[in-house]
Structure formats: structure tokens, C-alpha cells
Amino acid sequence: MKSLLCIFLPLLAPTLTLAEGEKPPATPAGEISPIRKKSCPLCKLPGRAALFAGAARPCPADCARLCCKGTEVVFVVKGVTDAAGARKITGALAEREGVQIENVSHESGRAVLRHAPDKVTRTQLREIIMGCGYQVTGEQAAFSLEGLTTEKLAAAVESAIRAAPGVTGIETVCHKSGRAIVVFDPVRTSPRKIAAAINATPCKVVIP
């Protein structure tokens, strides 16, 4: 018996050593390991993940409610410093027909809404927020971009956006997520005009 153990133990030792210090199998070229995959920098912005992540909605394909058919608008709100202020805005908006409130955050200073334009306009929504004692300094638009794969391309897109009239700020142009988030003055420009500026670069706006 001892002689058999002497024969087989050396053969088993490498296997046992591998099991104790075993490393995950190498990821095939061109693939990203789920363990090492990093989240988009957008998700790391404090208090803003909920605004940018784009949570999935469990709606049927033919959903006709505001959650799917409503027009989205993101207002940049100044002066909301606490949760009480956010609740005040939420309560005022909830009283108006044709509005679905996605998120009102004092941390990000954003009010994310969906509305039926035939029942309530952007201007009326803005007036409701201002009626609560806060300033609406602009709107925010997010764009998904095709071809935004490098930092160099991101810099080119950012330059094109900054040169567009009416753009008041850029939250990010992220080549890792392929997204750009822009703050603008709706009196001077629109998401369509900003998209045209982006499309003048090698990257193109993806129409949802």
C-alpha cells in the first residue's frame, strides 16, 4: 500500500496545488470577463446613476401609457437643496394631468418627466417648477452614439457640441458607454440641432 501511495501522490500533487491556488480560466481574446468588467463612468456620478442608467420598464410592446408614449424632458433645476424641495416639486407636478414623474432629485438638480404634449407643454411644466420657488436653468438631453470608441473621437464630439449655439454644458462624452449628455438652453437650440452637430463628426447619433 505504501508503495502505491509513493507512486500516485507525486502525480496528484500538481492537481492539488492547482486546486488550492487555481486562477480563473483566461478570457478568450475580444471578450470581457464579467469579473473584470468595469461600469460606465456615467454610473459613478454621485446621485445621478438613476438619471442616466435607463432602467428597463416591464411594459408590453403595445403600451400606450406615458411611460412609453410620453415625451421625455429633463429639466435642470437650481435651488433644490434637500428632499423636501424635491417633494414640493413632485407634488406640484403630480397635480397636473398628462405628466408622469420619473425622478426629481435634489442631489443631481434634475427633474426627469414624461408628458403628453397635447395636455401639458414644456413651458407649462417649467412654470409649475418655477412656481415652487426654483429656477429652471435649462434642459438636458442624452444621445447614444455609433462609432464613439476612443478618447480621441470623444474629444472631437465634445468640441463639436461646445461649438453649437445654445449649449450651456456637457455632463459627459463617454467613449466607454457610447453616450453624450448635454445641457442646453431650449430657447436657443434643441436636441435635433445638437444631434446635427454631432453627426458632423465621424460619430453618428443613434435614433431610438
Residue 167 lies in a domain: yes
Higher pLDDT, 16 or 201: 201
Domain range for 115 = 64-133
pLDDT tens for residues 27-46? 454 443 333 333 444 545 44
Q: Are residues 121 and 91 in the same domain?
A: yes
- Last residue within a domain, chosen from 77, 110, 133: 133
Contact (Cβ atoms closer than 8 angstroms) between residue 128 and residue 93: yes
Q: Are residues 199 and 158 in the same domain?
A: yes
Residue 81 lies in a domain: yes
First to last CA, the chain: 72
- Last residue within a domain, chosen from 133, 154, 182: 133
Q: What is the CATH classification number for the domain harbouring 98?
A: 3.30.70.100
Residue 116 lies in a domain: yes
Residue 162 lies in a domain: yes
Residue 161 lies in a domain: yes
Residue 178 lies in a domain: yes
Q: How many domains does the chain have?
A: 2
Q: Are residues 146 and 85 in the same domain?
A: no
pLDDT tens for residues 136-182? 999 999 999 999 999 999 999 999 999 999 999 999 999 999 999 99
> Can you tell me whether residue 143 is helix, strand or coil?
strand
